[in-house]
Structure 1
Amino acid sequence: MHVLILGGTTEARALAARLHDTVRVTSSLAGRVAAPRLPVGEVRIGGFGGVDGLVEWVRAHAVDALIDATHPFAQTISFNAARAAATAHVPLLALRRPGWVPAAGDDWRPVSSLEEAARALDGLGDRVFLTTGRMGLAAFADRPQWFLVRSVDAPEPPMPARTEVLLDRGPFTLEGERELLARHGIDVLVTKDSGGAATAPKLTAAREAGIPVVVVRRPPVPQGVPVAATPEEAAAWVRGRAEAPSPRT
C-alpha cells in the first residue's frame, strides 16, 4: 500500500513515523520553509501544479490513500486534495489537530481573516505580537502600530513600516513567552487558531498579562472529507484501508 501524506506539520511527521514500517509512505512538503524538519520515509518537496498535477502524480505513483495533514490554514491545497482524490478515485482523510479553546480569563477577539484581524487592532494596543507566519503580512502593511513578527524564515515585503522580525521555531515555553511579552512591551497578540501545544504557551502568557488576543478562525475542511484529530486516528484509518481492496482505477 502506498500512502501520500501532504504537509510537514508535527502531526504529518508523527503519522509518517507510525506508518513507515508497515506501508510505503511518501510525504510531500510545500517547500516554503528553507530548512524543514523532514519526516521518515520518502520525501518530495514542491507543489504539484494544481489539481491536475496532483491527480497525475497520484496515478503515476500508484497512491492508494491520500492524507491531507497540511497546516489548518493551507486552504488551497486542502481543496485541491479533495478534488484530486475524487478525480483519481482515491480515499482522502484530513488530519487536523483540534483548535484552541479559550480558558477563564482569556480576552479573545475572534475574526475570520487576516484583513479583519488588522482592522480589529484599532483601540486594542500599539505594540503587536504578530504570530500569523511570514505569509500574509501585507494585510497589516498600512497599520500604524509597531509589530513584532515571529516566523521561521525571514518575511518579505510588503509588511508594516514599524516591524521587528524575530526568527524562531517552536516549540516555545511559557517562561520564554512571558519574558518576550514583557521585554517588548506587547499589549496585543494576533494569531491564527493553529491548535497544538508547540505555540500555545503564548496564549497562556497573554492571559496572565491581561493582553487581548485577536484570533483568526481556521477555514473549514472541504465538505465530505472525513477528519482525524490525531496521528493515531489517522493511522487506524490507513490500517482499515490496507485491509480493504483499493478503489483506485
Structure 2
Amino acid sequence: MLEVYIKKKLSHFTLETGWTMNNEIVVLFGPSGSGKTTILNCIAGLEKPDTGEIRLNEQIFFHDHQPPLPTQQRNIGYLFQDYALFPHMSVEKNIHYGVRKKDSRQVNLINQILDVLGIEHLLKKYPRQISGGEKQRVALARALATEPSILLLDEPLSALDEKTRVECQDELLRLHQIWQIPFIIVTHDKQEAEKLGDRILFLKRGEIIEDVTKETEHSSKRHFAVQC
C-alpha cells in the first residue's frame, strides 16, 4: 500500500493532499499547475515536501523527523513526459541503464518485457531513429527493467497521435495486469483518465476535491467539465 500525506508550499498555493492506494491505477486529473507533477516528484524523491509522510508498504520514503530516503533507494519506475532517453545510447543500452544485477533471471525478465512491448527489433537503434510510440515503449521498458515497486507516469502519451495513443493505453492496462503494482498516471485527457484509472483523483490548486472509483464514475463525470 502507498500512503501519501504531504504539504508543500508552491508559488501560487499550498499543496496539501492525503490518500492511499493499493495495486491499482490511480489517475491524477486536473488543470495545468494544480500540483500533479509535484506529487509524483515528491513520491520519487525529486522534490521534498515541507511536512508529512510518504510510505510504500513498510518502507518510509519521507517523514518529518528523519532524512528522506534517497531516490535511488525507493525502487520507483518513473516515465517522464519527454521519455528522457539518452540520445547517445542505443535502445538496448537505454533499457539496461540502471539495472544493477544482470544475471540470467534479470535477462529473462527484460526479454519478457521486450516481448510484451514488441520492441525486440529496435535494440540496436538510437532514439533519433525511432518513432514517438516506439520511444514511449522503450522508456516504459527501461522503467520496468529495474523491477519497480511502483510506477509513476507523467503524461506519458500526450505527444502521440491518436492511434498510437490508444495502442499504448491498451499496453499500459495489459502491463498492469501482469505486474500488479501501483501505477500513478498524470493526464489532462478525459477519455484517457476514464479508460486507465481504477480511481481518479481530481486536483485543484493542490487539493483533492473528489476521489472517484470506476464503480461511482458514472455519477461524477460532470466534474470533468468543471476541471478541464
Task: Give the TM-score of the pair, scaled to structure 1.
Answer: 0.28
**Bigger helix share:** 2
Q: Between Structure 1 and Structure 2, whose CA radius of gyration is higher?
A: 1
Q: Relative contact order (C-alpha < 8 Å, sep 6+): which is higher?
A: 2
**Bigger strand share:** 2
